[in-house]
Structure formats: structure tokens, C-alpha cells
């Protein structure tokens, strides 16, 4: 079966699905997937801006496997063509091989080896912080109660991960000569610096918080811009920052905290530019209840349970919509988004065998 997986992966890697620029249409890769699932009902949807999804259903399943087919861009550090799969003694190398076309190849191989109920959702917008494919799927009458989302987890079921929120924060100041006594308070950059210092202190104060093996609040100031020159008071400043909360933390509550760390009137604009809920979604009690349900699902399917992870996945969107969701896929996240990205052949084999077993209704390992 590994040979079949590698044949699929060779084809899937050959399709350019870099995001950005996400120049992806409904043909090409999706035509190939369609031909590999002849006994499935296929529905391809163009959600605009290169976001395309393919839902394939056989029978009447209650569980859906999801895998995103978009990749990050390649870099000059690649040592060979990123869209040509290279197979060595123990690994498959290619853009998206680890994150996460290897799982898609495994699903296609497992589908051809079984005849039981199955459902696959392929999407192309995960790498853009623009989950319109998943949002559209969850907004429809889909009938699924469980979801297995493919990301590199070394073939372990992940039940919990952090949420994510990105913010554009703009400060207002009053232009003037830097020699003025009011420069300390009038400078928008000074306000931004004060905010940053207080934000870092607040994040440090959350280091004792815990959930499901995760600890503390992750936070990063990614970009600061503002001012004109050293002898002019900065009339404006802009900060872009992000944070990754535990499932037990309120994203809205954290926004309220971050938005009140400077003097009243200093902030001109506070805009959340992207939000992804934690896995499992919900308040403290609800999140723990959903984590236990996900643990029961992993146990029932005979999947080894791994540790919670710090990276975000679209599994949280399924969880927020009420599905029992776990993250499970081949490969190591350390290889994702790297030059000469690779996935081990053993991981591909293990993943495909486990999916084949699940589709065939055999839950014992």
C-alpha cells in the first residue's frame, strides 16, 4: 500500500497550491482527486480567492476526514524542485509532503482499499488564516458528528491545542518638536512602548495557567511602525501582535485586557484581524467535556493519544460547531514549512493503515 500512497503523493505534490498566492482552481488537483474516488459522491465548491473545497462521500458516514491541500510558499533554500517528489530510503521530500498532502495521499489509498462508508473534505485555505472552506461546510446541513483533521502529529491523536488571535493596534499622538516637555506623553511611539511593556508583564502573570498539558499564554509582538525622525514627536504608531490562549481562556476577555493597558484615548484603533478558537472549544467546563469526548473517540478508534500542542488547527472550528474533533496525521510539525520538507515513509504507512482500519470498521489495533 505504501507504493500506492507514494504514487498519489507524487501527483499531489506536483500541483502548485502555494498559499499565497493561492492561485487554485476547481480543476487540476481536484480533477485528479475526483478520478481516484470513483465510488464517491463528489461536490467541488469554489469559495472565491483560490479557496476551493471538495467533499467526497460514500454511503452514510457520520465521521468526516479533513485535510488542507494548500501549502506555504517555497524558499530559495530548497535544494531541488519543490514540486517534484523525491523518495529516499526513509522519507518523501516535497512541498506539502509533511503539511499535509501525505495524509491526503493516505486517504486516497485507504479509500481504494475499502468499500465502507467514508467522507473526505479537502480544502485550500488553511495557510491563509482565511477558513472560508470550513466555515461554508459547517454552515450547511452536513450530518456529521465527528471530525478527524489531518495535521502533522506523528500519528498520535491530539485532543487539545491553543487558540490564536491576531490584532492590529494603532496609537494616536500629537506631532511636535521633540524638545517639548510634552514629548513623553504626546508621542504615539512612547504609548506603544508603554503598552508593550505592560502587555509583556501581563503575559508573564499568566504563566501559572494550565489546561491539558499546556501552560501559560503565548504572546508575540510581531511588528512596530511609527514616527518620522528622532527630533519629531511621533503622531502615530502601529503595532501588530498576536496571542495563543489556552482552551480555558476567554479570547474576548484577553482582548479587553490588552485594550486597556494604556491611558484612555491613546488607542485610535484596536482590530482583531484573525481569530481561531482553541481545541476543544467552549468555556472551561465545556472544553473539558469535549476533550473527554475526543479522548473516548480516539480510544474507540484505537489511536494512540499524544500531548496537546501549541500550534493552531482547523479542528477547533469543527469543535466550535459541536462536532467531536481530533487532530491526527503523519509527519512531524518540526518539518512543516521548512526547506526540503519531508515526511517519513513509516509515518505514511502507519497513517494509511490506521485510516484503512477505521474505514473498514475495525477499531482494535
Just list the catalytic residues: 126
Tell me which residue of 300, 248, 306, 239 sits closest to 277, measured CA to CA: 248
* CA 364 – CA 362 distance, rounded (Å): 6
| Residue 357 phi, psi (nearest 5) | -65, -40
Written as nine digits, the cell of 314 is 482547523
Contacts of 72 (CB under 8 A, 6+ apart): 18, 19, 99, 127, 337
- Give every strand in the sheet of 146-149, ordered side by side: 41-46, 52-58, 118-123, 63-68, 146-149, 324-327
Q: How far apart are CA 198 and CA 202, in angstroms?
A: 6
Q: At what angle do helices 251-258 and 188-205 cross, to 10 degrees?
A: 140
Residues paired with 158 in a beta bridge: 327
Length of the chain counted residue by residue: 365
Amino acid at each position: 500500500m505504501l507504493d500506492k500512497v507514494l504514487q498519489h503523493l507524487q501527483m499531489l505534490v506536483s500541483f502548485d497550491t502555494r498559499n499565497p498566492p493561492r492561485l487554485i482552481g476547481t480543476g487540476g488537483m481536484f480533477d485528479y482527486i475526483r478520478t481516484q474516488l470513483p465510488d464517491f459522491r463528489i461536490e467541488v465548491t469554489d469559495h472565491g480567492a483560490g479557496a476551493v473545497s471538495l467533499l467526497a462521500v460514500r454511503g452514510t458516514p457520520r465521521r468526516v476526514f479533513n485535510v488542507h491541500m494548500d501549502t506555504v510558499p517555497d524558499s530559495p533554500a530548497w535544494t531541488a524542485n519543490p514540486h517534484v517528489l523525491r523518495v529516499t530510503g526513509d522519507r518523501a521530500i516535497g512541498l506539502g509532503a509533511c503539511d499535509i498532502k501525505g495524509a491526503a495521499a493516505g486517504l486516497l489509498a485507504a479509500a481504494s482499499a475499502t468499500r465502507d462508508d467514508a467522507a473526505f473534505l479537502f480544502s485550500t485555505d488553511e495557510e491563509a488564516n482565511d477558513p472560508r472552506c470550513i466555515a461554508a461546510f459547517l454552515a450547511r446541513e452536513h450530518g456529521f458528528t465527528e471530525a478527524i483533521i489531518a495535521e502533522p502529529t506523528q500519528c498520535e491523536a491530539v485532543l487539545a491545542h491553543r487558540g490564536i488571535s491576531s490584532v492590529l493596534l494603532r496609537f494616536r499622538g500629537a506631532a511636535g518638536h521633540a524638545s517639548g516637555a510634552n514629548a513623553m506623553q504626546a508621542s504615539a511611539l512612547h504609548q506603544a512602548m508603554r503598552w508593550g511593556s505592560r502587555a509583556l508583564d501581563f503575559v508573564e502573570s499568566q504563566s501559572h495557567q494550565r489546561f491539558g498539558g499546556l501552560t501559560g499564554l503565548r504572546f508575540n509582538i510581531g511588528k512596530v511602525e511609527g514616527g518620522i525622525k528622532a527630533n519629531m514627536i511621533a503622531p502615530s504608531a502601529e503595532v501588530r501582535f498576536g496571542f495563543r490562549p489556552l482552551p480555558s481562556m476567554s479570547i474576548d476577555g484577553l482582548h479587553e485586557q490588552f485594550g486597556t493597558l494604556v491611558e484612555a484615548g491613546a488607542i485610535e484603533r484596536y482590530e482583531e484581524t484573525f481569530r481561531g478558537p482553541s481545541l476543544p472549544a467552549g468555556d472551561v467546563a465545556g472544553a473539558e467535556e469535549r476533550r473527554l469526548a475526543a479522548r473516548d473517540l480516539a480510544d474507540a478508534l484505537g489511536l494512540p493519544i499524544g500531548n496537546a500542542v501549541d500550534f493552531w488547527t482547523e479542528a477547533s472550528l469543527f469543535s466550535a460547531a459541536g462536532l467531536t474533533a481530533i487532530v491526527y496525521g503523519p509527519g512531524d510539525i518540526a518539518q512543516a514549512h521548512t526547506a526540503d520538507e519531508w515526511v517519513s515513509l513509516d509515518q505514511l504507512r502507519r497513517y494509511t493503515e490506521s485510516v484503512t482500519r477505521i474505514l473498514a470498521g475495525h477499531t482494535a489495533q
